[in-house]
Structure 1
């Protein structure tokens, strides 16, 4: 099939662009979208288990660090206290002496300590403890790095699969979906939103696992050291949850608006960049700038609100954390003074209280990232869940031999239920016939050939190819036998030879140059410094509009289709080139069924059959001479195009 089949223009009349209109606002399902987002990671279950094991080990080692450091503090504090006590006595004797001297509080503290009267700091034991701490933290760091690396692999694989799903989905969507969506909006969903999802998963997944494990492990250690202090620390948890939920509820709608505004802004920029020449020609720079400013201001407003509201989570959590720190420090100090807990344990507990509140703060801080990612995921899943074109038949039918006989049998079609476009159209085109389709704008000419290509499905009747209903054929099989050249050309970044070769996979250079010569592209190539190897960009900026059309025609020549569809295929070439192309196409059409949509009636005089369409109906059919003699709609079109135009010039 010719690559031109991928080209299209909005169908005439009440097409799908008017049908789809502005998107309908729907309730946003945060929980459902989040579950779908996490489901993307399900193929990586084994690696996620490894990530969880590494995270658990890393957190366990990290959490034991403060406890070991607390022992080091006890060694230092015991040495300082021991040096102040008289040597040569036991700890019990020293405690009894302190009580006898009226210093009962100090005596209680000494009694709870592992102290040797008259002995200072044991630096050997201190070095041993510090070495253990260093080893624990080094191993924890190594495990953390391994966990982050595996998390990166998991996330990037998930993002790659998501992009593959989007690519496959776009191939299964009907033409009506693309006609109803701005191209920039689709690009934004496929690129910006997908990247944002990957970034969200990357930044939150590993940190979320570590934070949850840290909270659990730290909580265990805190209850082990002092249940009373642990309960004091837990008082702030419900407050943190309420604050985070309240702020998150206000910020989530702003993130949804932010990414919707991003899509609109991208769509506007893409449209204005693609048509910047026309914008300047018609002096619409100011209007374009005003529209840009409107979209940009909306994006600024929603982004500012989303970031500001979600950004208040972390300061609020820090304030709650500081209150928790003060409570723990005060109560812990009193318990040290009473001898019910050691100074090292209080120090360790304060570190644990920080470690306990820090992951809660991190999780709260991740709320803005998660909300932004879920908002993007919702837009991507809307694309992935869009209604697809009808499925292919389980056992596709195919003609024994494709000769090009096309029959319309009582075909009806409408873009919307209440506005019929084509009603009960019957037509038979024999192999080798050239059928020209003419009529005013909106008559249904392009829609007719789109139905042949199955870009749209008929709503009544059927279309057959050599006796086989095309609805029972696979689209690939059907389109492989059809070449299509449209008025709106499509080129991709590459050489002229590569663009022509797109029409037939694996075509040799000789076939490509032969097709180029038939379409008179050779004279274009010879004027360029690198000939057929001249590189053109996707906009075809290095060649003229007429030359682009010649390249697409050459592409159709190369595909050698059984059926040829030409939709104003020579509209951008000069008169001399048009004559040459018409001669070449006469040779190309020989033995092939051809459908030619034309507005310049001079180009279709030699057509086997001319169909005149009005409002989706064939009102006249015949040859050029017979239709002129009939004096009907075709004659009026012909007269309007030549006679009246000449009168106006005079």
Structure 2
């Protein structure tokens, strides 16, 4: 089982690396330039030890220094060093550009993919974990990728170049170096296998702690209201402790790579020093060549340290990249079919025929639901919590697709209508408000960006929010903080109402649209709604039955089915479930 797990993990790593290389291939011109510059840099870097060896040979003994030749060699060393520095700067600049372009592409693709993910995926995954994948994991990936670009190419070319230079001086000593250095690979490979698992767990736990923090901050008032601080703190500490454990283990295994490979490299250096000294004593090589060889032994073993560090960092990078790719590869919404049509000026006929739907296959919710709505009708939907009221709205908007049956708008199956045009035909005001970090004006005009100033102000007045907007520091130009900043829940809801009143679509969905508004303002809003609903098919989800007495049709839902329907007076006369709901609210 353990071998199967390792094999599966290895295959997954290879797949992730291939995906990364696919993104990098877009910038193959810059990558090729980086490789060429790396090769030039290595050649010049390795040429310097030869010049140092030649300089040492010009120093025979006291009073026997060939100063003129030594001066020429020193000038060469200076020029070569300057050229090497310039080439390395250009190479690093190119590597940085490639790295950040690739990360930008991946992050952009991940963010864009969220826009086409089904609502079911977003409902079933913590938003904090998704944020962690796009922000934190891509940052971790960029660090590993940058290190790979800056050190991997240079390290490999340095090893190859050093071998060639050492072979040109003395093949026997070169063979000694080559025979000992593979130990570094074995050490690095053993440790890398241990680190990947820890880095993978670290990334996942980091996503969990981000999700918890995001959830607690977003609902801090609820946490405090129910005195849940200690439980939240315990949960945070438990996840934080797990994160610390994985991080410590990952850091421990990754930190022993360098000392272990340095130990092997010291053995190589000592072997070269001893054998090279014996060869120098016997006259097979000069003292200058021995100096060059020692430099090369150091140059040859140094990349192994760097590559080992890169391999360890790449384990973290691959673990993070795999989480981002998992998000990108989540099945998107089904593409619109070629025969999908655009819903133009909808009249407002809505038909639901034998609709069945459930969020989970083994838990039935809506079964054989039938509904017919005429243009201009005000249809109220009432029922106990969990009966399917909001689900009905989700199906109308195609946030979820029906399992069976059909939903038609103006006799057209909604599955044959483009989602964009279908949703543009509805105006929604929900109990849960959403405002973006922007100006009040841009929030009201969210659904109609080309709206004029007069239209925005008129919509705000109709929603009875113009007065408090003008009392704000910059009026309509006031920038709201995250989710409305310091606005009250009622003020946020009024802005959302103004947003719909600006667009005036042919169909409306009001889901507890006035739940956070005071009674006096609600009466005014209801009058504005009544005017707005004239000639528009309107679906009103309400718990307060007093707000739907004037509805043309009231649908009473229970356990996913419409069990009663009629006007307010007709339903009271039936003395059924609606009567029980009404009496529960108004009976003395």
Query: TM-score per shorter chain, which class?
Result: over 0.9
Aligned to 2:55: 72
The answer to whether the 8 Å contact 1:310/1:367 transfers is: no
The answer to whether the 8 Å contact 2:510/2:539 transfers is: yes
1:548-627 matches, within 5 Å, as 548-627=492-571
Aligned to 1:8: none
Aligned to 2:16: 33
1:169 corresponds, among 110, 113, 118, to: 113
Q: Structure 1 residues 466-475 or 303-312, which shifts more?
A: 466-475
Question: Deviation string for 1:441-483 (max 9, x for gaps)?
Answer: 1111101110111100111011111111111121111111111
Shift of residue 375, structure 1, vs aligned partner: 0.9
Q: Which structure has the bigger radius of gyration?
A: 1
Question: Deviation string for 1:11-40 (max 9, x for gaps)?
Answer: xxxxxxxxxxxxxxx954222212212222
The answer to whether the 8 Å contact 1:66/1:348 transfers is: yes
2:368 corresponds, among 414, 424, 441, to: 424
Aligned to 1:133: 77
Residues 1:207 and 2:124 are matched in the alignment: no
The answer to whether the 8 Å contact 1:307/1:368 transfers is: no
Q: 2:51 and 2:524 mapped to 1: Cα distance?
A: 90
Please list every run of 5 or more consecutive structure 2 residues that lacks an aligned counterpart in the other structure: 1-6
Aligned to 1:288: 232
Shift of residue 386, structure 1, vs aligned partner: 1.0
Shift of residue 400, structure 1, vs aligned partner: 5.8
**Relative to 1, partners in 2 of residues 1:170 and 1:69: Cα closer, same or farther, differing over 3 Å?**
same
Question: Deviation string for 1:125-159 (max 9, x for gaps)?
Answer: 10101111111111011011001101111111111
Q: 1:168 and 1:616 mapped to 2: Cα distance?
A: 34
SS at match of 1:457: coil
1:183-202 matches, within 5 Å, as 183-202=127-146
The answer to whether the 8 Å contact 2:199/2:247 transfers is: yes
The answer to whether the 8 Å contact 1:519/1:581 transfers is: yes
Please list every run of 5 or more consecutive structure 1 residues that lacks an aligned counterpart in the other structure: 1-25, 84-119
TM-score of the aligned structures, taking structure 1 as reference length = 0.87
Residues 1:42 and 2:25 are matched in the alignment: yes
Residues 1:318 and 2:276 are matched in the alignment: no
Q: 1:132 and 1:399 mapped to 2: Cα distance?
A: 76
Shift of residue 368, structure 1, vs aligned partner: 2.4
The answer to whether the 8 Å contact 2:181/2:268 transfers is: no
1:144 corresponds, among 84, 88, 108, to: 88
2:43 corresponds, among 28, 39, 60, to: 60
Q: 1:244 and 1:541 mapped to 2: Cα distance?
A: 51
Q: 2:541 and 2:211 mapped to 1: Cα distance?
A: 31
Aligned to 1:522: 466
Aligned to 1:405: 349
Residues 1:341 and 2:285 are matched in the alignment: yes
SS at match of 2:386: coil
2:311 corresponds, among 367, 385, 388, to: 367
Residues 1:329 and 2:282 are matched in the alignment: no
The answer to whether the 8 Å contact 1:565/1:595 transfers is: yes
Question: Deviation string for 1:297-340 (max 9, x for gaps)?
Answer: 11111001001111100000000000111100000000000011
Question: Deviation string for 1:388-421 (max 9, x for gaps)?
Answer: 1111112321346411111112111111222221
SS at match of 2:376: coil
What is the number of equivalent residue pairs in this alignment?
580
The answer to whether the 8 Å contact 2:181/2:265 transfers is: no
Q: Structure 1 residues 317-326 or 404-413, which shifts more?
A: 404-413
The answer to whether the 8 Å contact 1:399/1:466 transfers is: no
Structure with more relative contact order (C-alpha pairs < 8 Å, separation 6 or more): 1
1:417-566 matches, within 5 Å, as 417-566=361-510
Aligned to 1:110: none
Shift of residue 633, structure 1, vs aligned partner: 1.2
Residues 1:264 and 2:198 are matched in the alignment: no
Q: 1:399 and 1:76 mapped to 2: Cα distance?
A: 90
SS at match of 1:552: helix
